[in-house]
Every structure is written in structure tokens, then in C-alpha cells.
Amino acid sequence: MVNKCIDAHHHLWRYVPAEYPWMTDGMEILRRDFLLEDLKAVTALAGIAGTVVVEAARRVEETIWLAEIAASDDLIRGVVGWAPLTDPRIALDLERLAHLPKVKGMRHAIHDEPDDLFVLRDDFNRGIAELKQFGLKYDVLIFERHLPQTIEFVDRHPDQIFIVDHIAKPRIREQALSPWKGHIAELGHRENVYCKVSGMVTEAWWDAWTDETLRPYLDVVLEAFGPKRLMFGSDWPVLTLASTYGRWVSTVQRAIATLSPSEQEWVFSKAAIEAYGLE
């Protein structure tokens, strides 16, 4: 294990059915509270020194709650929250949220929008343009099919830091590499874009994935972003649908074992620290 590992992507929630409609049939094990003490139990066993907690309920109130938890414990080093980025008065929300403890970025569930071209909407882009003045990064949550328009979107904001969640959710169950491979390689040419090695096991067959299942996808993002813009994330507790926390850490360790110790350190901690400005 790399010393001082950062888990750059996990969630916490107090389960209320109406707030988590994405927890569909088959996800019953997620339909309970997952709180700080639960997180500390799994991260302690894996040697995790710090984390970034990410929104899951699409509510400003959740962002405030996550910031309060982060303020209460040194384990959580950063918060990626949610704000209504299409609201004409978004700057007022961002100013308030950016001053909360450890808030480092924002995220919107692009892959839940019925419009596949949502990232190109003028109102959304006006909201994204406000992030930089508050020092906020943006997490990109998309499916593979959104990559072409996401490249165009990113190019509209060359001074904004973007972090792609879950390697843009390729069709791992189908073992399909194209056209995802070409698009993610093109996105990787943008130096202001980082990528999270997270959320992969739940895009695979939950009970049948192996290292070999995931290796082609890991190789592609390592080539596309390099170790300095690739960061480890667990996506816990969603991860538990398909893996234990420890198994996922070990899987990523094996996948990058041929990298130098310095390069492994970038993937397991330094890329997240740099991208989010973690202390």
C-alpha cells in the first residue's frame, strides 16, 4: 500500500427513499444509512489516510451536511457538493457553499438528464463558468455516450479543472472498448482534465468481474491521462454491490504495479491532492 492513500471518491448518506431514486431493484443493500463511522471502519482496514466525499442526493442541504461532517473529522479532506448550476443566480449559492469547510468542487448527474446534450446548454455553461472564481473544481458524471459532447464542453472552459468520475462509465459488461477508448484518449489530451479510477466494478457484472475484465480499461486511462492525472477512488458504498473495499484497493494496486513508486503515489494520493487542492 502506498503511504497516505487518498480515496478520492466515496459517499455518505442518511437513507430517505425519495432522495435516492437511483437505488433501483437489486440495490437493496444500499438502502440504509452510511455514515462517518461506517466509512472509518472500512478505510482503517485499507490504510486510507484521507478521502473526498461526493454528493449523492442532488440537494444543497446535503452539501451543507457533508461539509459539517468533514469539519468534524480529519479523515475527510474534501467535499464535492451539488448546486443548481442552471440557476441564473448560481453565483450566490456558490459563494455560500464555497466557504463551507473543505468544499472543493461541485457535481451534477449529467447521465441522469434526459437530454444527452445537456452539457452544451447555455444556462449550464454559464453556471460552470462561475466555478473558477470560487476555486471550485467540477466532477463530470457521464456515460460513455456523452463523451463527444463532453469534449466540446470541456473546451469551452480551458481554465477550469475537471475530474471525470468512474472513467466515464464504459460498457464493461459488454467488454466494449470502442468508441469509448478513442473518446477518452481525446479527452485526456486536455491538461485541465483528471480521471478517477472508480465505479468500474459496478459497470461490470457484479458477481463475475476479475482483474482481467477491468485491465483493458485501466490500461486505456493510464495511457490517456498518465499517473499524474489519474486518481484512485472507491465509490463506496456503491462499491459494495460488486466488491469489498479491500478487494478494490488490491485490484488497483495490481493494475499499476509496474509503475514506479513515485507514479503509484500520484495515482493513490498526489493527483487527488493536486486536482482538488487538498490540505
Range name among 22-26, 188-192, 260-264 with the lowest pLDDT average: 22-26
**Per-residue pLDDT tens digits for 127-177:** 999 999 999 999 999 999 999 999 999 999 999 999 999 999 999 999 999
DSSP for residue 32: S
Among 190, 187, 212, 188, CA closest to 200? 212
Beta bridge partners of 139: 107, 163
Give the number of domains in the chain.
1
Among 6, 103, 87, CA closest to 54? 103
pTM of model > 0.95 = yes
Is pLDDT of 104 > 90?
yes
Distance CA 101, CA 92 (A): 17
**Per-residue pLDDT tens digits for 40-87:** 999 999 999 999 999 999 999 999 999 999 999 999 999 999 999 999
pLDDT classification of 279: cutoffs 50, 70, 90: confident
C-alpha cell at 270: 498526489
Please say whether the beta carbons of 201 and 243 come within 8 A: yes
CATH number, domain of 229, equals 3.20.20.140
Please say whether the beta carbons of 71 and 102 come within 8 A: yes
User: What pLDDT does residue 38 have?
Assistant: 98
**Per-residue pLDDT tens digits for 203-256:** 999 999 999 999 999 999 999 999 999 999 999 999 999 999 999 999 999 999
Q: Which domain holds residue 139?
A: 5-276
Q: What are phi and psi of 268, to 5 degrees?
A: -90, -5
Mean pLDDT, all residues of the chain? 97
